Amino acid sequence: MIRLFCYFLCVLALTRGAIAQEVSSDPVPTLLISIDGFRPDYMERGITPYMNVLAAQGAHGALNPSFPTKTFPNHYAIVTGLRPDRNGIVGNSMIDPHRPGAVFSLGDATQSRDPFWWDEAEPIWVSAEKAGIRTATAFWPGSEVSIHKVRPRDWLRYDRDISNQQRVEAVLDWLRRPAAVRPYFITLYFDNVDMAGHRFGPDSQEVNDAIADVDAMIGYLVDGLRQMDRTVNVVIVSDHGMAATDEVKAIQLDELIDRESYIAVETGPYATIEPAAGTDRRVYDALLKPHDHMACYEREKFPPELHYGHNPRVAAIICLAKPGWVILSGPSPYPLSPGGAHGWSNAMPEMHALFIASGPTIKQGADVGLMDNIEVYPLLEKLIGLHADVDIDATGKPAEKILVK
């Protein structure tokens, strides 16, 4: 009963303003929201009234993330239309033969804020700024970096202690501005669903609390838009899903190879391994043989449907764990029982990600099924009114089905 009442209020709030058509000659701003680690089936838990209304008002479906199903590669794929192998962000951690000894990682700002790692592709905010369209970001991987010498006109330094409400307030402030200084492409990022998923597992009460919190923030955002009578396109995505882990399902690399003989660039649901002495056959021999709970490949022989392994930044050997299993080199960075992880093949349904789009030119009630996450890029281009002079992997076909002709 309470839930029904809330749905009624939410529908009322949403239909009375923000996403409704409005007579105005200003372009409609596009807001791209990422809820890190949000699985599409979380929408069926009965705790996301605001998001369910947005989905019903517009298009919804699921995203097939790019491999590896990790945060940085997929956020960059969504805003570049290029899979990680071609956008250059091949992992949350990576190496590059042109920068021997250096490791890109989320915790190392010296590397992660260096344009060297990002310049292989052009994110949509850079193309938009170059075309004279003003942009702003309340977090997005890469948005703090001067890529092709351009940053969003307004951007915030990533800080997980900036509350979700503060992030939403920043977006509302940008949209409240007069038309001439208003951004027309904005990003907003939430990390608490992913963090709860890692610590407590996808079926935990803590994940449900985080989902409800983010949904309430989306309601707060929509209400703020209604109060300022601002029409926007809202595209809500996630980068990947989340699956439960178990401490008995751990593969220890130390039991197969000496720690000194390799560098584990990434570990977890998949591992990328570089032999310490470039051509060390012992590492290849120990890993490339059959294993019970993982399969290892030389990067050139990685399954082609995962579109991965051609970029020189991918380490020499890629090991893919079976669903639920993780590959470790020493202790796990996250608790495994209970716990959650992502990074497995995108063929695993639990790795699928969220897609909702709502706005005046988006078909109402369109169910787009499962689409590759690189296809979000052509949709954003159309919504912003941008035709960037960049090469992309996306086809643009799903965007045609989502938009009103």
The binder of 85, among Zn ion, ligand AMP, none, by C-beta within 5 to 8 A per type, is none
Residue 336 corresponds to which tokens in the numbers above?
């495994």
Quick note: the x/- pattern for ligand AMP over 36-55, rule CB under 6 A, is x-------------------
71 catalytically annotated: yes
Relative to beta strand 340-341, strand 243-244 is antiparallel
Q: Does residue 191 bind ligand AMP (CB under 6 A)? A: yes
Nearer to ligand AMP (CB atom), residue 70 or residue 86:
70
Q: Does residue 375 bind ligand AMP (CB under 6 A)? A: no
What beta strand segments (E) does 192-239 contain? 233-237
Q: Which of 85, 129, 144, 239 binds Zn ion (CB under 5 A)?
A: 239
Q: Does residue 269 bind ligand AMP (CB under 6 A)? A: no
Q: Does residue 92 bind ligand AMP (CB under 6 A)? A: yes
Rounded Cα gap, residues 398 and 123, in angstroms: 20
Q: Does residue 350 bind ligand AMP (CB under 6 A)? A: no
Q: How many CB atoms lie within 10 A of CB 146?
A: 13
Residue 369 Cα to chain centre, angstroms: 18
Please name every residue paired with 319 in a beta bridge, in sequence order, or none if there are none: 271, 296
Q: Does residue 36 bind Zn ion (CB under 5 A)? A: yes
Sign of the four-CA dihedral 244, 245, 248, 249? positive
Q: Does residue 71 bind Zn ion (CB under 5 A)? A: yes
Nearer to ligand AMP (CB atom), residue 102 or residue 106:
106
- Can you spell out the DSSP letters for 296-315? EEEGGGS-GGG--S-STTS-
Q: Does residue 141 bind ligand AMP (CB under 6 A)? A: yes
- What is each CA distance from 313 to 29, 58, 92, 142, in whole angstroms? 36, 39, 12, 17
Residue nearest to ligand AMP (CB): 71
Select from 188-196, 273-281, 305-313, 324-332 the region that touches ligand AMP (CB under 6 A): 188-196
Q: Does residue 194 bind Zn ion (CB under 5 A)? A: yes
Quick note: the x/- pattern for ligand AMP over 55-74, rule CB under 6 A, is ---------------xx---
Q: Does residue 194 bind ligand AMP (CB under 6 A)? A: yes
Quick one: which of 279, 210, 243, 188 has its CA closest to 65? 243
Question: Is residue 33 within 8 Å of 171, Cβ to Cβ?
Answer: no
- By CB under 5 A, the residues from 6 to 35 that bind Zn ion are none
Rounded Cα gap, residues 326 and 307, in angstroms: 21
Catalytic residue selected from 71, 80, 135, 245: 71
Distance between first and last Cα of the chain: 39
Name the residues annotated as catalytic.
71
Question: Which positions lie near Zn ion, rule CB under 5 A?
Answer: 36-37, 71, 194, 239
Question: Which positions lie near ligand AMP, rule CB under 6 A?
Answer: 36, 70-71, 92, 106, 139, 141, 158, 160, 191, 194-195
